[in-house]
Amino acid sequence: MKPKRIVRTVISLSLLAALMAIIYSSQTSDSSNPHAAIPRETWIHGPKGHGYAVVNNQQPWKQCYECHEKKGLGGEAYCQSCHDQSGVKAAIPQRPAQ
pLDDT of residue 20: 94
pLDDT of residue 29: 66
From residue 76, alpha-carbon distances to 59, 64, 65, 68, 79 in Å are 12, 9, 7, 9, 5
Reported as a single tens digit per residue, the pLDDT across 69-88 is 887 888 778 888 888 887 87
Tell me the one-letter amino acid at 74: G
Rg for the chain (alpha carbons), in Å? 22
